[in-house]
């Protein structure tokens, strides 16, 4: 994949797990530069890029969603995440809460208390990261009303109750770390896409699915507008059938 938007490598270490953001055990964080490139490409396919909602149906600890919430805070109005795993959703709540000013202020206070008890370079750097993240979203912080994160099996027969979703970005279960759980009958990607279709803003939406190269991403209600490969991953961009392509 050519980096069309994230041309220059930036220092994204403020998003490293366990500085401010948390990661579920044994789930490596998704590379921030790639996440940002995918999001910029998604925005380039939308008619309107402001006041938009984003949804990750397999959000895990919501590291990816939270990073995008910071980097694209001025574009985003609503941030939604679901995952089938209760433990992952607990981490997701913690991470997404950092998109609110109260959540980040509380984290900074905790880090400062920890630093007062045990002053070491790691704690000091975490405080600095927290302060930089706060500066990044100043003026476009979210409230609890803008964020919703809950346990949901996206392969079940009903979609979650979100409405008019503009961007769906998801890193599917694959590899050794995670696998599809839940409703085991039929193709999980197909069932996920059927549910996603129900909650989209059909006039202004785009789906980006991150998977391994073996997974076939196809559905009768979507058409593919781009497929890119990068290392072991593939990124498939889809639009719902009754939306016109704008690029
Ligand atoms: C690759 S991980 C996602 C990591 C995430 N992007 C992050 O930043 O932490 C895939 C996730 O899919 C979830 N998953 C598996 N089956 C699911 C299902 N039927 N519905 C919703 N989530 C599911 C797993 O629990 C796992 O958290």
pLDDT digit string, tens, across residues 38-73: 999 999 999 999 999 999 999 999 999 999 999 999
Question: For residue 23, which atom of ligand 1 is closest to its CA?
Answer: 9
Q: Residue 117: which pLDDT band, with cuts at 50, 70 and 90? A: confident
> How, if at all, do strands 206-212 and 76-83 pair?
unpaired
Q: How confident is the model at residue 243 (pLDDT cuts 50, 70, 90)?
A: low
Ligand 1 atom closest to the Cα of residue 181 is 16
Beta-ladder partners of 169: 208
Which one of 169, 178, 191 would you pick to mutate in the ligand 1 pocket, going by the greatest count of ligand atoms within 8 A of its CB? 178
* CB of residue 88 inside a 6 A radius of ligand 1: yes
- The pLDDT tens digits of the residues spanning 190-241 come to 999 999 999 999 999 999 999 999 888 999 999 999 999 999 999 999 999 9
For the chain, report the end-to-end CA distance as a whole number of angstroms.
Answer: 18
pLDDT of residue 95: 97
Instruction: Place 176 in a pLDDT band, splitting at 50, 70 and 90.
Output: low
CB proximity list for 96: less than 8 A, separation 6 or greater: 62, 65, 66, 69, 79, 81, 147, 149
Give the confidence band of 247 by pLDDT, cuts at 50, 70, 90: very low
Distance 172 CA to ligand 1 centre (A): 6
**How many angstroms from the chain centroid is the CA of residue 232?**
19
Task: Output the pLDDT for position 107.
Answer: 94
User: Vertex 182, ends 179 and 186: CA angle to 5°?
Assistant: 90
Which ligand 1 atom lies nearest to the CA of residue 156?
19
Q: Is 131 in the pocket of ligand 1 (CB under 6 A)?
A: no
CATH number of 29-100+144-240: 3.40.50.150
Q: Indicate the domain borders of the chain.
A: 29-100+144-240, 102-141
Pocket test for ligand 1, best of 30, 58, 157 (most atoms within 8 A of CB): 58
CA of 180 to the centre of ligand 1 (A): 8
pLDDT in tens, 77-114: 999 999 999 999 999 999 999 999 999 999 999 999 98
162: its two tokens = 């979100």
CB 64 near ligand 1, within 6 Å: yes
């Amino acid at each position: 994949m050519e980096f069309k938007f994230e041309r220059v490598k930036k220092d994204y270490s403020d998003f490293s797990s366990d500085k401010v953001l948390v990661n579920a055990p044994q789930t490596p964080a998704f590379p921030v530069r790639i996440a940002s490139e995918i999001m910029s490409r998604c925005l380039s396919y939308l008619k309107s890029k402001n006041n938009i909602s984003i949804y990750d149906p397999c959000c895990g600890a919501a590291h990816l969603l939270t990073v995008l919430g910071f980097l694209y805070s001025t574009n985003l109005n609503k941030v939604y995440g679901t995952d089938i795993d209760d433990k992952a959703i607990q981490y997701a709540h913690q991470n997404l809460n950092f998109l609110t000013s109260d959540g980040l202020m509380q984290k900074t206070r905790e880090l400062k208390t920890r630093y007062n008890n045990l002053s070491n370079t790691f704690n000091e750097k975490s405080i600095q990261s927290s302060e930089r993240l706060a500066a990044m979203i100043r003026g476009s912080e979210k409230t609890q009303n803008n964020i919703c994160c809950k346990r949901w099996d996206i392969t079940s027969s009903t979609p979650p109750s979100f409405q008019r979703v503009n961007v769906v970005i998801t890193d599917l279960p694959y590899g050794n770390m995670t696998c599809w759980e839940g409703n085991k009958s039929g193709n999980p990607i197909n069932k996920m896409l059927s549910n996603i279709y129900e909650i989209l803003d059909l006039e202004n939406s785009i789906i980006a699915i991150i998977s391994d190269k073996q997974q076939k991403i196809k559905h009768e209600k979507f058409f593919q507008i781009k497929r890119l490969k990068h290392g072991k991953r593939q990124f498939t961009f889809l639009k719902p059938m009754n939306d016109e392509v704008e690029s």
